[in-house]
Amino acid sequence: MRRAALLALLSHWRRRPLQFLLLVTGLALATALWTAVQALNSEARSAYARASAQTRPLELPQITAEAGYIPIEAYARLAREGWRLSPVIEGRWRSPAGTVQLLGIDPLTHPPLAAAAERQEGQDRLPGLLSERGLLVAPPGLAAALSSAPMGPEIAVSAELPPGTVLTDIATADRLLNRNGALSRLVVLPGQPDTLPALRRIWPGLALNAAGSSTGPEALTASFHLNLTAFGLLSFAVGLFIVHGTVSLAAEQRRGLFRTLRAMGLPQRSLSALLLGELLVMALAGGGTGILLGYLTAQVLLPGVSATLAGLFSAPAGNSLSLRADWILAGLGMALGGTLLAGSQALWQVWRLPVLAAPGALAWARASAGSARRLAAAGLAAALAGAAALLPGGLAGGFAFLGGLLLGTALCLPLALHLATRLAARRAHSPLAQWFWADLRAQLPGLSLALMALLLSLATSIGVSTMAGSFRLTFTAWLDQRLAADLYITARNDAQAQEIRLWLEQRGAAVLPIRSTESPFRGAPLEIYGVADHQNYRENWPVLTAAQDAWDRVAAGQGVLISEQFARRHSLTTGKMLSPLPETSYRIEGIYSDYGNPKGQIILGITELDRLFPALPATRVAVYASAATPQPLDGALREAFSLPGSAMIRQSGLKERALAVFDRTFLITRALSLLTLAVAGFAILTSLLGQWDRRLPQLAPLWALGVSRGKLARLDLLRSLALTSLTSLLALPLGLALAWVLLKVINPEAFGWSLPMHMFPKGWMQLFILAHLAAALAAAIPAIRLFRLPASHLLGVFAHEN
């Protein structure tokens, strides 16, 4: 019985292969973008985990200090009290091959690390790690770069180390990072004595962190991955609109078949089970195709994402994509769950289908139209729920608000379109115009889902492009302020830097030192910069708020300037006191913007920094040229000091590089928003083709009254464009609201900086033109079909009327 019924149900798809293709494609598209994002996230997280596993024994608890450093005395006292610990010094080291993550361990006490273990096998290099000269273990590329610049320690290669990481012994790390015995953390070793004095009683300010807690790349990049996930989810939701539309349409078209099967003795339960099975098989087919497409999409996007992660967060990310069970299963799960969600309404209608109800496609349409008000009420409730989620704050609250706003407005769309078309119909005078608006209103129920998908994708594109555009404008202005020097030079050593300074000053240029170091602060890395007291800083530095005489107090070593994200993260304001290092205390004199930097940053006077870190290399300087300075300056310097090209960076080059990293950051976001728009265009095509059967009985009488097929086809095309225009009108305010939430809620929560909002009418116009092109393209296929339709088909409408 079931086999015969199944064959009868499936015969529908055999006769409508295009509809089947649309359904599976909708599912595949929905799953593809979601899977692509999950594959990218999974790959990145796996790279972080690999890096952590090789450089951090995460299964062991760690001791950190609230102030950042653990004094060597604290370690000694803990050891005397019975604690079994292994000290670690780590930080960003400006090596001859660029800035790298330096990890210094005590090879005698530290638990085994994959990277160190590799060195021990066969070659017995561990004693070298302890030698006076020291050994730097680096991944292959970095090791080669370090070897080419002669330094004190010996260089060794380990393929196990993540990119940009150097492993060494704690003494070498202490020397290279100028820590003077200040430890970053203490690894709590297994086999501690049963009774140990409490940590805080031995040394106040220390904290025991449970195994697995980390301030590694996972924490820094969490917001980036959350953004990607949100985008993947949005694309998935848009794809589900297609699935919902095609499943509902198929259920409607087969309503007669369902009744016939029931009349021939197929129990309701069997029919529902068969439809559920059919839906699940399609979900697997569409989901499987989607996973494959997602894998290919992720492969295309991976280099961009890796570059972003490396450029923006210094986080390691692989360049090749592996097939992983987590995202494959998650993709299939989403496809199955999403299909059931999208098909639940249709299944419910079949379950409730009275076997004797008169068939009527229009009844379905009327019911849908009647539900516009209920949908709008639900939309309002969703928007209010989203707004309520915003109140407690937090990134999740921000995204919940966004979700509520988008869903709420989408649900209000059918009612808005209904009212707009009714208004237009009232103003129409010619009979054809009146028919046009009345017909358009009648088509709304069938098209509303696709139009909701279009609204969501348009609003997202507007929101994201406004956010990215506003960010870019602000970032460019900020770069102009922040990178005011004409040339940035890195000398070979301190002596050469001094020679260069004298040479330049004799030629009228101002030469300002650039010195920085890094220190942990409350478990997160903090960059500490020292700046000279110079008019250029006072005039150009992008300060957001500042106390009076702020620069004077910074120059006198009494105050600090702090970055916006650091201030936000630790709830710091101008006028409060800050202790960035043990036994230091400064008044916060001001807050400045520091876009694109996930780490906290503070600025001290250069004299104060030199007092705290006397051995910091003084090889980098910023040069402000004057009229007397020879031009081109880098050419003259190269000649005078034989400096390599890489040692000098022009301001313009640095800005270009910074903007390139910035643009790359939003590359994937833009790509995803355009793909979402493409999915929405496809949803319109699906709906229009799905309506084809119902259109003929509506158009045939008009044709019989003397309206040509060509005119009818043009009116059909116009119908799609009119609906796209109305949807675009609503998408604009929604997109701007979305941009506002991204700039004022999501960005401060995720990255720590707030941005001003700019308007880009030209960009919106381009987007609307693109949307209209997509809608025209989608409408063109059925319109051409209508134009070419033989008269006999239209006559057939009258012949089949009963």
Partner 1 sequence: MLVTVQDLWKSYPGQPPERAVLRGAQLSLAEGEAVALTGESGSGKSTLLHLIGGLDGFDRGEITVAGQALSALDEPGRAALRRGPVAIVFQQFNLVPSMTVEQNLALHARLAGREDRSWIKALTARLGLEGLGGRYPEELSGGQQQRVAAGRALAVRPALLLADEPTGNLDETASAAVMSLMLGLARETGTAVLLATHSETIAAGLDRRLHLSGGQLA
- Can you give the binding site for partner 1, defined by CB under 8 A? 1, 3-5, 7-8, 11-12, 14-16, 256-257, 259-270, 355-356, 800, 802
Which CB, 126 or 257, lies closer to partner 1? 257
Q: How far is the CB of 791 from partner 1 (least distance, A)?
A: 17
Question: CA 181, 187, 192: angle at the middle one, nearest 5?
Answer: 120
Which CB, 21 or 58, lies closer to partner 1? 21
Q: How far is the CB of 782 from partner 1 (least distance, A)?
A: 19
623 forms bridges with which residues in the sheet? 487, 511
**Residue 602 · residue 580 · CB < 8 Å:** yes
Q: How far is the CB of 270 from partner 1 (least distance, A)?
A: 8
CA dihedral sign, ordered 400, 743, 724, 28 = negative
> Measuring CA to CA, which residue among 529, 530, 538, 527 is closest to residue 484?
538
In angstroms, how far is CA 471 from the centroid of its own chain?
15
**Residue 137 · residue 161 · CB < 8 Å:** yes
Strands (E), 564-679: 577-578, 586-592, 600-605, 620-624, 648-650
Which CB, 780 or 797, lies closer to partner 1? 797
Contacts of 535 (CB under 8 A, 6+ apart): none
Q: How far is the CB of 256 from partner 1 (least distance, A)?
A: 7
Q: How far is the CB of 349 from partner 1 (least distance, A)?
A: 17
Which CB, 134 or 690, lies closer to partner 1? 690
Q: Using CA atoms, how far apart are residues 557 and 519, in angstroms rounded to an integer?
A: 18
> Measuring CA to CA, which residue among 666, 633, 661 is closest to residue 647?
633
Q: How far is the CB of 11 from partner 1 (least distance, A)?
A: 4
Q: What single-letter amino acid sits at 650?
A: R
Q: How far is the CB of 246 from partner 1 (least distance, A)?
A: 16
Q: How far is the CB of 43 from partner 1 (least distance, A)?
A: 44
Does 632 sit behind a cis peptide bond, omega within 30 degrees of 0 on the bond before it?
Answer: yes
Q: Give me 572's structure tokens.
A: 């710091």
Q: Using CA atoms, how far apart are residues 350 and 362, in angstroms rounded to an integer?
A: 17
Q: How far is the CB of 1 from partner 1 (least distance, A)?
A: 5
**Residue 462 · residue 738 · CB < 8 Å:** yes
Find the helix or strand (DSSP H, E) in which 89 lies: strand 85-95
Q: Using CA atoms, how far apart are residues 780 and 719, in angstroms rounded to an integer?
A: 11
First-to-last C-alpha distance (Å) of the chain: 32
Question: CA 188, 114, 159: angle at the middle one, nearest 5?
Answer: 145
Burial class (CB in 10 A: 0-12, 13-18, 19+), 626: exposed
207 forms bridges with which residues in the sheet? 64
**Residue 158 · residue 115 · CB < 8 Å:** yes
Q: What single-letter amino acid sits at 636?
A: A
Q: How far is the CB of 701 from partner 1 (least distance, A)?
A: 20
Which CB, 201 or 800, lies closer to partner 1? 800
Which CB, 281 or 765, lies closer to partner 1? 281
Which CB, 355 or 367, lies closer to partner 1? 355
Which CB, 358 or 627, lies closer to partner 1? 358
Read off φ and ψ for residue 621, nearest 5 degrees. -140, 155
**Residue 88 · residue 185 · CB < 8 Å:** yes
Find the helix or strand (DSSP H, E) in which 103 lies: strand 98-105
Neighbours of 646 (CB within 10 A): 8
Q: How far is the CB of 784 from partner 1 (least distance, A)?
A: 22
Which CB, 267 or 337, lies closer to partner 1? 267
Which CB, 4 or 795, lies closer to partner 1? 4
To which residue do tokens 């249709």 refer?
346
Which CB, 7 or 18, lies closer to partner 1? 7
Neighbours of 636 (CB within 10 A): 15
Q: How far is the CB of 451 from partner 1 (least distance, A)?
A: 29
H helices then E strands: how many in the chain? 28, 19
To which residue do tokens 């045939």 refer?
700
Which CB, 266 or 402, lies closer to partner 1? 266
Which CB, 236 or 364, lies closer to partner 1? 364
**Residue 578 · residue 585 · CB < 8 Å:** yes
Q: How far is the CB of 4 from partner 1 (least distance, A)?
A: 3
**Residue 103 · residue 88 · CB < 8 Å:** yes
Q: Using CA atoms, how far apart are residues 670 and 680, in angstroms rounded to an integer?
A: 15
Q: Give me 75's structure tokens.
A: 């370690």
SS3 content of the chain, % helix, strand, coil (to 5): 65, 15, 25
Q: How far is the CB of 352 from partner 1 (least distance, A)?
A: 13
Which CB, 88 or 275, lies closer to partner 1? 275
In angstroms, how far is CA 271 from the centroid of its own chain?
43
Which CB, 260 or 642, lies closer to partner 1? 260
Which CB, 132 or 801, lies closer to partner 1? 801
Question: What is the CB-side half-sphere exposure of residue 238 using CA atoms within 13 A?
Answer: 33
Q: How far is the CB of 794 from partner 1 (least distance, A)?
A: 15
Q: Using CA atoms, how far apart are residues 468 and 501, in angstroms rounded to an integer?
A: 39
Which CB, 12 or 77, lies closer to partner 1? 12
Q: How far is the CB of 772 from partner 1 (least distance, A)?
A: 35
Which CB, 195 or 802, lies closer to partner 1? 802
Q: Give me 777's structure tokens.
A: 């393209």
Q: Give me 376's structure tokens.
A: 């709008």
Q: Give me 473's structure tokens.
A: 């404008």
Q: How far is the CB of 396 from partner 1 (least distance, A)?
A: 46
Q: How far is the CB of 360 from partner 1 (least distance, A)?
A: 12
